[in-house]
């Protein structure tokens, strides 16, 4: 077969020339942004490679272990590598951590005791933590173990409420929960530098406070991580950035020896901690995923930047906006109309390598106060480092868009979403 033009290939996949040209012209203006993202990826790639070489990663580390998993040198080496990448004393990186929420739960539960208080100085944490902490009553929550919670909201302009934070620190305050990404809130994502300023302020008041950062979606977006600016722990999911799209499950906690060990006692059992936990053959995938994570994160980031620029130029509000610096891979777009939000998500689904023929529909998901639409055609179920989008069907009809294992795929997804909206009457 003869080679075709790119436009023709896209046309075969349902993208009109007008949509293609519109997006391509916007993309042409993003060269410098993309180069900066590539330079960050190159930096982080060296950081990961250096940690692998320093720890003499070997073929023997890639083999499975079974049973109790004592002396699993592959698992231990993986954790040494994570600790070096994040510049921490210790790391816990396990397939037995089922998701990000689970990782956050063991970090909290392992490090808190009855009578202790958690303080969030950045407003309400991610929805799934409501029941972990007990903000919404829930069986097994930290509240049931006598652990209390306080929060100080960000000020209207998004800055920290320094006075409010100072006043909220009490003798029983033990752990500070800092969420880097905005999650499903409309605040800005915190930069690592902002997190560092906040931690310095907190430690200036009480050096013994444990500062834990929910690092979900933030890994490798910048050259430094929260653990480089004073965080005692950073926590995240392997089916987001650091798994590089390959990890089929898992979570991580990096931080001080004491914090990570306490979390490990909660994951397995007191006295057992990190010594146990057979890796069942996932270590090779975790290693390779980490190796790819900097460039996969860069691909997702470029997709987010392209989406912001495309949709902002069409008059929609985008968070972050077209030109802002980023500290996570999430892009929010306010569509203001349910049918446009639905069309957007349909387009993302139709662009997927898996289940592209399936049409997502809004449904009443447990734990949400409105219907939610989700688009995900991923190799790893529910993975949000793969191209995905979701949004609650309520004003301002915001789509949360993230991922893309390769930039060409994210690019196609954005065009497909726009095409769907054009088909429903949107004017370019
Ligand atoms: C994804 C995410 C989590 C954890 O979510 P899981 O779905 O349990 O992996 C926690 N916090 C933030 C900010 C997140 O983005």
- Using DSSP bridges, classify how beta strands 90-94 and 398-402 pair: parallel, antiparallel or unpaired: unpaired
Q: Is the CB of 100 under 6 A from ligand 1?
A: yes
What CA–CA distances, in Å, run from 86 to 140, 276, 428? 31, 23, 44
Question: What is the CATH T-level fold of the domain 61-290, as seen in this structure?
Answer: 3.40.640
- Residue 303, Cβ density class (10 Å: 0-12 exposed, 13-18 middle, ≥19 buried): buried
- From the alpha carbon of 99, which atom of ligand 1 is closest? 9
Give me the pLDDT at residue 367, please. 63
Q: Is the CB of 190 under 6 A from ligand 1?
A: no
User: For residue range 347-368, what is the model confidence (pLDDT) as tens digits?
Assistant: 999 999 999 999 999 998 876 7
Helix (H, G, I), strand (E, B) or coil at 235: strand
Q: What is the CATH number of domain 6-43+293-423?
A: 3.90.1150.60
Task: Tell which one of 183, 226, 329, 331 to mutate to probe ligand 1, the residue whose CB is within 8 A of the most ligand atoms.
Answer: 183
Q: Is the CB of 132 under 6 A from ligand 1?
A: no
% of the chain beyond a pLDDT of 70: 100
The structural domains of the chain, with segments of one domain joined by +, span 6-43+293-423, 61-290
- Using DSSP bridges, classify how beta strands 233-237 and 210-214 pair: parallel, antiparallel or unpaired: parallel
Helix/strand number for the chain, H first, E second: 12, 12
Give me the pLDDT at residue 184, please. 79
Q: Is the CB of 402 under 6 A from ligand 1?
A: no
Q: Are the C-beta atoms of residues 153 and 163 closer than 8 Å to each other?
A: no
Q: Is the CB of 214 under 6 A from ligand 1?
A: yes
Distance CA 424, CA 417 (A): 11
pLDDT at 151 over 90: yes
User: For residue range 383-405, what is the model confidence (pLDDT) as tens digits?
Assistant: 999 999 999 999 999 999 999 99
Q: Are the C-beta atoms of residues 122 and 190 closer than 8 Å to each other?
A: yes
Report the separation in Å between the CA atom of 238 and the middle of ligand 1, taken as the mean of its atom positions: 10
Q: Are the C-beta atoms of residues 143 and 149 closer than 8 Å to each other?
A: yes
Listing from the earlier edge strand, what are the strands of the sheet with 173-179? Answer: 90-94, 251-255, 233-237, 210-214, 173-179, 117-120, 148-151
pLDDT at 89 over 90: yes
Whole-structure pTM value: 0.97
Report the separation in Å between the CA atom of 126 and the middle of ligand 1, taken as the mean of its atom positions: 7
pLDDT at 1 over 90: no
Q: Atom 3 of ligand 1 has which residue's CA nearest to it?
A: 100
Give me the pLDDT at residue 187, please. 86
Task: Report which secondary-structure segment, H or E, holds 107.
Answer: helix 100-111
């Amino acid at each position: 077969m003869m080679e075709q033009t790119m436009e023709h290939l896209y046309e075969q996949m349902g993208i009109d020339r007008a949509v293609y040209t519109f997006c391509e012209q916007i993309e042409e203006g993003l060269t410098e942004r993309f180069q900066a993202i590539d330079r960050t990826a190159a930096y982080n790639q060296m950081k990961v490679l250096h940690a692998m070489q320093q720890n003499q990663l070997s073929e023997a580390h890639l083999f499975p272990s079974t049973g109790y998993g004592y002396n699993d040198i592959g698992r231990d080496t993986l954790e040494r590598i994570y600790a070096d990448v994040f510049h921490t004393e210790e790391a816990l990186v396990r397939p037995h951590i089922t998701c990000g929420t689970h990782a956050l739960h063991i970090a909290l539960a392992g490090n808190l005791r009855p009578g202790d208080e958690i303080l969030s100085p950045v407003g309400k944490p991610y929805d799934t933590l409501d029941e972990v902490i007990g903000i919404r009553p829930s069986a097994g929550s930290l509240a049931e173990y006598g652990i209390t919670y306080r929060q100080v909201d960000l000020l209207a302009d998004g800055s920290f409420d320094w006075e409010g934070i100072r006043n909220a620190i009490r003798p029983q305050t033990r752990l500070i929960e800092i969420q880097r990404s905005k999650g499903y809130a409309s605040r800005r994502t915190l930069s690592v530098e902002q997190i560092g300023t906040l931690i310095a302020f907190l430690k200036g008041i009480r050096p013994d406070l444990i500062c834990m950062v929910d690092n979900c979606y933030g890994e490798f977006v910048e050259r430094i991580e929260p653990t480089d600016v004073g965080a005692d722990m950073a926590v995240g999911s392997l089916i987001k950035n650091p798994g590089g799209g390959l990890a089929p499950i898992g979570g991580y906690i990096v931080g001080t020896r004491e914090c990570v060990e306490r979390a490990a006692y909660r994951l397995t059992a007191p006295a057992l901690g990190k010594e146990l936990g057979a890796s069942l053959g996932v270590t090779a995938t975790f290693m390779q995923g980490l190796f790819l994570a900097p460039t996969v994160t860069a691909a997702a980031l470029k997709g987010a930047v392209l989406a912001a620029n495309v949709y902002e130029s069409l008059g929609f509000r985008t968070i972050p906006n077209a030109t802002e610096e980023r500290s996570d891979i999430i892009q929010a777009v306010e569509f203001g109309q349910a049918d446009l939000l639905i069309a957007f998500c349909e387009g993302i689904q139709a662009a997927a390598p898996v289940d592209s023929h399936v049409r997502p529909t809004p449904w009443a998901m447990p734990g949400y106060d409105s219907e939610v639409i989700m688009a995900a055609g991923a190799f790893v179920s529910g993975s949000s480092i793969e191209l995905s989008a979701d949004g609650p069907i309520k004003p301002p009809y915001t789509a949360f868009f993230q991922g893309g294992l390769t930039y060409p795929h994210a690019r196609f997804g954005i065009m497909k979403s726009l095409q769907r909206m054009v088909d429903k009457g949107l004017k370019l």
